[in-house]
Amino acid sequence: MRIEQFNQQDAEDAAAQLRACAAIDHWVDALVAARPYDSREELLTHAMSLAAGWTADDVEAALADHPRIGERHPGGAAADHSAREQAGIDPADAEVQARLLAGNRAYEERFGRIFLVRAAGRSAGEILALLEERLTLEPALELRVTADQLAEIALLRMEGLLS
């Protein structure tokens, strides 16, 4: 959709579009309330500036809508985004799948939330290496890395929405 279409949408429809990018209500509400935007770039810049302030609670809210890396969840716009983003994860590679599954469990035990990484454009091996690396981080740093990854995912989804 073009920025003009986004600007003219009903507020509920615009919010639903953005919520599929990142399910953080105050972020979505602020972006919808700031319409109209002069350009796609203005909207994206505003979205990223707001994302810089995401808290642990914001991250947790958004993660509720994300499948684990290597898993597929049926239904909804966010699930459709996730399936496209995880296209580089080949389900036929049983060893990598097993290590991702084990890594996901270890990550959840260590940090109390699912592992999130921008999967778009990355192979399963690259994602596995990032998962194993991030398991070594301190919790506060890992939370910031997760928030940054969530912002990258939201931006990519918004770019796709506005293309």
CB atoms within 10 A of CB 38: 9
Asked if 21 and 161 touch (Cβ cutoff 8 Å), the reply is: yes
pLDDT of residue 66: 78
Tens-of-pLDDT digits for all 163 residues of the chain? 999 999 999 999 999 999 999 999 999 999 999 999 999 999 999 999 999 999 999 999 999 877 888 765 555 554 455 545 554 555 558 899 899 999 999 999 999 999 999 999 899 999 999 999 999 999 999 999 999 999 999 999 999 999 8
pLDDT of residue 101: 92
pLDDT of residue 76: 53
Instruction: Write down the residue that tokens 């690259």 correspond to.
Output: 126
Q: Which domains does the chain show, CATH number per domain?
A: 3-161 (1.10.3330.10)
Tell me how far CA of residue 134 lies from CA of 58, 66, 106, 107, 130, in angstroms. 20, 18, 11, 8, 6
